[in-house]
Amino acid sequence: MAIGEFELIRRFFKRPPLRFDVVEGIGDDCALLRPQAGKCLAMTMDTLVEGIHFLPGTNPENLGHKSLAVNLSDLAAMGATPTWVALALTIPQPDENWLTAFANGFKSLADFYGVELVGGDTTRGPLSITVQAMGVVDEVGSLKRSAARWGDGIYLTGDLGLAGLGLEILLGKTSKKSPEAIAKLERPQPRVNAGMSLAGFANACIDVSDGLAADLSHILNASGVGATLDWIALPLPSAVRQYIESEGDEWMPLMAGDDYELCFTVSREREDELPGLMAHFDCSCVRIGTIEQQMGLRLKKDGGIFDLAALGYQHFPTSK
């Protein structure tokens, strides 16, 4: 079946207006949006490429979900309330079933958080998805990477290592089975409510997309501080613990990406307010370490202190 570009947008992605602040949505040269007076606009953009960020044959509904989720996660990491989103979809050829499923995954998540798809582009080419998401946040309450302070507690939402385990399973590198790990990899839940609740409360915040070690290192470098993580405090699900035990790959939860949890720091004197705030989270949250004056990232484990190089996942390796 061949579909014209305009029909494709109309048929699979256009829907009744959702938000009062969208003056013009899909269909003109630009979307027209009414920003909230006195607020900052938070903007992020992420691309998922087949074969790099997801395996060929990935369930299109999950892909629609994930392509939006990773951007909502960036907004959450800034403390922003998501508002509008644009989608640039490049596909080899229009396939009705694939598009229906992709649009369903995308729209379900957008609806859940009241985010409106206001624009984008559909083009022919190798499968690739770029999503640009916008949100609003008070300038003073926004969560910047550079705001961690010596003595801050380091916190992590949800759990760690499941997405990494999911990837190992899909790549056939382990014989373990774990539907929850596959689900975490393919349908990450962005911590939108946690991020919104943390605005004006947490100091620094980042979302864990490239691995906890790499992402926390961004906070440390931007803030000019160091940290020690406590292995025993890391929220490792039992499937991840079993994987580590049987495969001996103990660094995986720190190095693997795609968990899309929030890692944030809280001033020592405000840490006792956090449990009350967590009532508004959509997930659990635990203290995993402390910000220190001494630069670098360290791990307390089995009575010793290990130095963690900030490796994580980079799209272009720095060494061949």
Select from 63, 69, 77, 299 the one that contacts a second copy (CB under 8 A): 77
Q: DSSP secondary-structure letter at 11?
A: I
From 221, 216, 189, select the one nearest 205 (Cα to Cα).
216
Q: Does 203 engage in binding with a second copy (CB under 8 A)?
A: no
Site for a second copy in 156-185 (CB under 8 A): none
Q: Is 248 annotated as a binding residue?
A: no
CB of 78 to a second copy, least distance (A): 4
Site string for a second copy, 219-258 (x = CB under 8 A): ---x------------------------------------
Q: Tell me the window of 29-37, 58-66, 253-261, 275-283 that interacts with a second copy (CB under 8 A).
A: 29-37
Q: Does 23 engage in binding with a second copy (CB under 8 A)?
A: yes
Q: Is 210 annotated as a binding residue?
A: yes
Q: Tell me the window of 168-176, 178-186, 204-212, 237-245 that interacts with a second copy (CB under 8 A).
A: 204-212
DSSP 165-213: HHHHHHTTS-----HHHHHHHHS----HHHHHHHTTT-S-EEE-SS-HH
Helix (H, G, I), strand (E, B), or coil: what is residue 77? Answer: helix
Site for a second copy in 33-52 (CB under 8 A): 33-35, 37-47, 49-52
Q: Is 302 annotated as a binding residue?
A: no
CB of 11 to a second copy, least distance (A): 12
First to last CA, the chain: 44
Q: Is 159 annotated as a binding residue?
A: no
- Residue 124: HSE in the Cβ half-sphere, 13 Å Cα cutoff: 7
Cβ 186 vs Cβ 259: under 8 Å: no
Select from 68, 80, 148, 256 the one that contacts a second copy (CB under 8 A): 80
Site for a second copy in 259-318 (CB under 8 A): 314-318
Q: What sign does the dihedral 7-8-11-14 (CA atoms) show?
A: negative
Q: DSSP secondary-structure letter at 114?
A: T
Q: Does 207 engage in binding with a second copy (CB under 8 A)?
A: yes
CB of 60 to a second copy, least distance (A): 17
- CA 218, CA 175: separation in Å to the nearest integer? 33
From 61, 63, 72, 66, select the one nearest 116 (Cα to Cα).
72
Residue closer to a second copy by CB (options 57, 317) is 317
Site for a second copy in 135-154 (CB under 8 A): 135, 137, 139, 142-146
- Residue with token string 């800034």: 78
From 216, 202, 209, 227, select the one nearest 278 (Cα to Cα).
202
Q: How many CB atoms lie within 10 A of CB 270?
A: 14
Helix (H, G, I), strand (E, B), or coil: what is residue 309? Answer: coil
Select from 121, 245, 250, 273 the one that contacts a second copy (CB under 8 A): 121
Q: Is 209 annotated as a binding residue?
A: yes
CB of 241 to a second copy, least distance (A): 29
With CB under 8 A as the rule, give the number of residues binding a second copy: 77
CB of 26 to a second copy, least distance (A): 11
- Residue with token string 């501080």: 225
Q: Which residues are annotated as a binding site for Mg(2+)?
A: 29, 44, 46, 74, 121, 207, 210
